[in-house]
Copies of this chain bind each other. A is one copy, B any other.
């Protein structure tokens, strides 16, 4: 999964590289036939199953085709040029970015359409974006605005560093107690008028981020209300003729994109989803959320098998100091711990062969920087030197722990690698 920008040469800096550690390119990996169950890799190591990546990417391609929406996946999940290339090849309309630094990285990855899902502030950030807009007529860039102050910052920055064309913005709506975005729709309409009157800006759409309500019981109701506000504001702004070009309505974390696709679709608008986690998925948190989504959404259910967890982390048992306490060699430096701790999936002991046996009743109860504490049954067979595979919860905060992740086939043999740029 190489691209022209990363050298894709791996060495002692790469977690997982075997003992010899001589530099190796991605293209040379498959010939080595490294397999984790044969202890060919140094642990901990992160592995992405190619079949799951391909399945998930195709699943989302079919979902967006079926629902008639566009996809600008949130690239912050993986920050990986190889995975971005896969997403664009599978028909993504563009990529969503979280920070100006991400925008710069995406540009170096070769992306031409980027939606920055924040207000653009800061002298360096505005200068960078304006410079790119001026330099490359094919650069199609969007950012958010949620206040007159945000408009004034952009105008001041673009006066200092001209972009040569209007900067495309979407108005962000939000809700009380939530993240950014206007709480008041009348104020949002006023802001639309203000933007439309600015020669430096071009009003291209309305958006919100609904993702942070994901764990609440009343989530669907809250999301539905926010989507209704996006669409109503879009229609009001459209009625006043304040948009330039065909307007965009956008929302979409990774838990409610079915509602976004359903509630925002209307002939006058393009709908842009921004889900980021679908490609890698997980073994717990998003698994549950997407199972709920599929139960809710006939379109999603019609696609057959849902998303598959693509990422596993393998670690050694370091110690079993008590019959029911086990320490494994993975920690906060290796896996997400912000939503739920990792889930032990299976184990194997090299001297007994390569079969991965399922694990039941083993639970991660604490992570230190480099250690996982597991509560285990007293009759668990595990002992120091055994290997455990862990599923993760929350791909975003696992990916940023790895600069290289090996791609494996269904036999857990390394066939390729992807890089990240956090």
Contacts and interface: CB of A to CB of B under 8 A. Distances in A.
Interface of A: 12-13, 15-16, 18-19, 21, 39-44, 76, 98-101, 104-105, 107-108, 118-119, 121-125, 127-128, 131, 146-147, 149-150, 153, 174, 176-183, 212, 316-322, 325, 327, 329, 332-333, 337-338, 350, 368-371, 373, 383-385, 396-397, 400-401, 403, 421-422
A123 B350 contact: yes
Contact of A371 (B44, B150, B179, B325): B179
Nearest to A384: B149
B350 A174 contact: no
Contacts of A19: 124-125, 127-128, 131
For the complex of A and B, the 10 pairs showing the least CB-CB separation, nearest first, are A180-B319, A19-B128, A39-B123, A98-B370, A42-B124, A19-B127, A121-B385, A19-B124, A153-B385, A149-B384
A39 B122 contact: yes
Contact of A146 (B44, B319, B368, B400): B319
A364 B383 CA distance: 42
A122 B41 CA distance: 9
Given A21-B104, A422-B333, A369 B396 contact: yes
Given A329-B99, A401-B400, A318 B180 contact: yes
Contacts of A42: 100-101, 104, 122, 124-125, 128
A39 B337 CA distance: 33
A389 B21 CA distance: 40
Contacts of A319: 118-119, 146-147, 150, 179-181
Contact of A369 (B76, B108, B131): B76
Contacts of A317: 121
A396 B371 CA distance: 13
B397 A369 contact: yes
A366 to B, nearest CB: 9
A108 B146 CA distance: 49
Contacts of A127: 19
A128 B21 contact: yes
B147 A322 contact: no
Contacts of A122: 39, 42-43, 316, 385
Contacts of A396: 369
Contact of A76 (B320, B370, B385): B370
A41 B124 contact: yes
24 contacts: A12-B104, A19-B125, A21-B104, A41-B124, A42-B104, A42-B122, A43-B125, A44-B101, A76-B369, A98-B369, A99-B329, A118-B319, A118-B329, A123-B350, A149-B385, A150-B384, A179-B371, A180-B319, A180-B371, A183-B322, A332-B338, A333-B400, A400-B401, A403-B422
B350 A147 contact: no
Contacts of A329: 99, 118, 121
A159 B369 CA distance: 32
Given A316-B121, A368-B179, A146 B212 contact: no
A124 B40 contact: yes
Contact of A384 (B108, B121, B321, B401): B121
Nearest to A157: B385
B322 A105 contact: no
Contacts of A316: 121-122, 125
A146 B321 contact: yes
A327 B179 contact: yes
A124 B12 contact: no
A144 to B, nearest CB: 9
Contacts of A327: 179-180
Contacts of A21: 104, 128
